């Protein structure tokens, strides 16, 4: 049993990116979580959380994304000791920026480094997804993949993930002061079980264009591919003045704008992100909602020891 502490940082992420529901994810610069782990003689998992929104995050291992990862590894590896885990939150929870995914990814990467686990890319993504399942009820990988690998990720069946270098594009995220209990589960409950053929074809075209834009390094095509007719119309009701905020972004010069992950944040891509963000914040304010604006870019870096 080692007694050293290891700290790992994992970036925030935006999933879906418009047309790519449960398939696309991209890592963000400027924002992330740090998880510090240390082996302890006691057999359990001792959790503490500090930072953004820490008061709302559970500290029992079964309900915490990082804690669930550590507990899973401890049990599957048959370890006769426990871990002390400190989570330093930089990603605010419940905003659609992959908060639980960043913590889960950091924990998975930290344990691999700490214990010398030789996991494949698929295996470490699957491990991080255990943490997502503890929080959201399903082990989806569209946030943990970019948090682990960085860049633009395309999630396939059985955790097969294709990673591409992210586009060189400026982004803005506007986070309204709107909060829901069990937000991710609520957002998923709004999605219909069946969709129309025309809408499905529209989204297939959008995902193809977005993938081509990333491969070609075309920021304009990337932004203009941020269109969605399958999920966005159903989740828009969760966000006050959603359509007005989106139109404000487009009127201010955004190439595209949509819901960040499960919301309630919106993100936009364009050449003047500060002006776009101001316009979006004003549109929220018109409906009586305060918001916070963050300027960011895609990150090519994923989880790493710090």
Q: Are 27 and 151 in contact (CB under 8 A)?
A: yes
Q: Could you tell me which residues come within 8 angstroms of residue 5 by beta carbon, excluding any fewer than 6 positions away?
A: 36, 37, 38
Whether residue 132 lies in the annotated active site? yes
CA dihedral 170, 204, 227, 135 (to 10 degrees): -80
Whether residue 184 lies in the annotated active site? yes
Structure tokens belonging to residue 222: 């990337």
Q: At what angle do helices 99-115 and 121-136 cross, to 10 degrees?
A: 140
Cα angle, residue 153 at apex, residues 250 and 63 outer, rounded to 5°: 100
Structure tokens belonging to residue 251: 């009127």
Of 34, 184, 207, 211, which one is the catalytic site residue?
184
Of 34, 86, 88, 132, which one is the catalytic site residue?
132
CA–CA dist 256, 269 (Å, integer): 6
Q: Please give the positions annotated as active site.
A: 132, 184
């Amino acid at each position: 049993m080692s007694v050293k502490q290891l700290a790992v940082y994992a970036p925030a992420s935006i999933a879906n990116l418009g047309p790519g529901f449960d398939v696309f994810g991209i890592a963000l610069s400027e924002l992330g979580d740090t998880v510090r782990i240390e082996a302890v003689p006691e057999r359990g998992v001792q959790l503490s959380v500090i930072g953004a929104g820490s008061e709302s995050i559970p500290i029992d291992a079964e309900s915490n994304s990082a804690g669930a990862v550590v507990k899973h590894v401890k049990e599957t590896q048959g370890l006769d000791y426990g871990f002390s885990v400190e989570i330093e939150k930089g990603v605010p929870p419940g905003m659609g920026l992959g908060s639980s995914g960043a913590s889960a990814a950091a924990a998975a990467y930290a344990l691999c480094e700490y214990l010398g686990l030789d996991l494949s890319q698929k295996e470490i993504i699957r491990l991080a997804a255990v943490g997502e399942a503890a929080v959201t009820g399903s082990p989806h990988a569209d946030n943990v993949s970019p948090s682990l690998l960085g860049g633009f990720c395309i999630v396939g069946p059985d955790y097969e993930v294709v990673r591409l270098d992210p586009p060189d594009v400026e982004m803005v995220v506007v986070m309204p002061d709107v909060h829901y209990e069990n937000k991710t589960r609520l957002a998923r409950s709004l999605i219909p079980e069946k969709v129309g053929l025309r809408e499905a074809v529209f989204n297939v075209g959008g995902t193809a264009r977005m993938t081509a834009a990333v491969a070609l390094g075309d920021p304009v095509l990337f932004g203009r591919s941020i269109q969605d007719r399958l999920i966005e119309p159903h989740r828009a009701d969760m966000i006050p003045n959603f359509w007005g905020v989106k139109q404000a972004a487009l009127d201010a010069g955004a190439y595209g704008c949509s819901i960040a992950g499960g919301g309630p944040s919106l993100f936009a891509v364009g050449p003047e992100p500060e002006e776009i963000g101001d316009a979006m914040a004003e549109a929220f304010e018109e409906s009586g909602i305060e918001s916070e604006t963050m300027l960011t870019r895609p990150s090519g870096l994923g989880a790493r020891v710090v």
